[in-house]
Amino acid sequence: MFNGKALEGKVAIVTGAGQGIGAAIARAYGAQAAPVAVVDWDVEAAEQVAQSIRAAGGKAAAFKCDVADRAAVDAMVAAVATALGPVDVLVNNAGITRTAMLHKMSAHQWQQVIDVHLTGSFNCLQAVVGGMMERQRGWIINTVSTAGILGTIGQINYGSAKAGLIGFTKSAARELARYNIIVNCVAPGAATPMTETIRTDERFKQRTLDRIPLGRWAEPEEIAPLWVFLACEGASYVTGQLIGADGGMSIH
Ligand SMILES: NC(=O)c1ccc[n+]([C@@H]2O[C@H](COP(=O)([O-])OP(=O)(O)OC[C@H]3O[C@@H](n4cnc5c(N)ncnc54)[C@H](O)[C@@H]3O)[C@@H](O)[C@H]2O)c1
């Protein structure tokens, strides 16, 4: 699909890359010659992903970081610059769910999800954007969700955070275009630990599949090329866009 050099020399941070979609994006970036910072608060998982990229001939290092912690993010970005070089590509992908019906959701559950998805993405953006502005180049891709487009039951925190990230993407794209920084977001649907309950619990499984025109979940590896495309030269005139990699679930 790509020639193995599509991201040559572009240092990329992928957050939440210890498993799932983030791990698949990190591996796809490594396979396209990007030096990859595999960032996760689970550093053992991140190290395994980084090792798999190195074993496949790529360049990667693991970094422990809670994206919701601004000081930790600043330290991580400094460590990435020392180990791999200045950051060209940021993928804001780290995510959690804290599911509860809205009348029962605690303030803590609300805040945790907002902190990781929305504030975490802002923390990472601010930590890398100064260097991108100086160098007049950068690619930022935010992982959002159909929950932020269509709404969802039992996850008002998550739906709100992801809808917020769509506005975040559009605002950042407008503001950063003058610096030649490209900003887009992708709404995925894939088989990962995060989606295990809706994929396996009979109460949700068929109802969810019925809402996906392609009628199945993707594997993370199947959708990761979209994040490659959005970080490569082929996407040089695409910014501020929301793209679904969701089997058509968000067609409206
Ligand atoms: N799987 C899907 O179908 C789906 C659908 C829509 C959106 N998404 C979004 O895609 C992204 C990846 O989801 P996934 O399904 O691969 O999830 P996952 O749970 O498999 O992986 C998420 C990763 O993020 C890490 N993480 C969580 N909080 C963190 C933090 N504060 N700091 C650093 N790392 C942290 C976890 O340790 C984990 O490795 C998320 O933003 C999620 O909301 C997933």
From 49, 122, 123, 192, the mutation candidate for ligand 1 (largest count of ligand atoms within 8 A of CB) is 192
**CATH pick for 12-245 out of 3.40.50.720, 3.50.50.60, 1.10.230.10, 3.30.420.130:** 3.40.50.720
Per-domain residue ranges of the chain: 12-245
Q: Considering only CA atoms, which of 188, 236, 198, 174 is closest in space to residue 92? A: 188
* pLDDT tens track for 60-97: 999 999 999 999 999 999 999 999 999 999 999 999 99
- Ligand 1 contacts CB of residue 96 (under 6 A): yes
Cα(26)–Cα(49) distance, rounded to whole angstroms? 8
Q: Considering only CA atoms, which of 17, 76, 82, 79 is closest in space to residue 52? A: 17
Catalytic residue status for 158? yes
From 13, 15, 21, the mutation candidate for ligand 1 (largest count of ligand atoms within 8 A of CB) is 21
Q: Considering only CA atoms, which of 55, 122, 43, 54 is closest in space to residue 84? A: 54
Assess whether pLDDT exceeds 90 at residue 252: no
Q: Stretch 12-33: mean pLDDT, rounded?
A: 98
| Rg of the chain, C-alpha, whole Å | 17
- Ligand 1 contacts CB of residue 93 (under 6 A): yes
* pLDDT tens track for 159-194: 999 999 999 999 999 999 999 999 999 999 999 999
Q: Considering only CA atoms, which of 114, 124, 110, 41 is closest in space to residue 77? A: 124
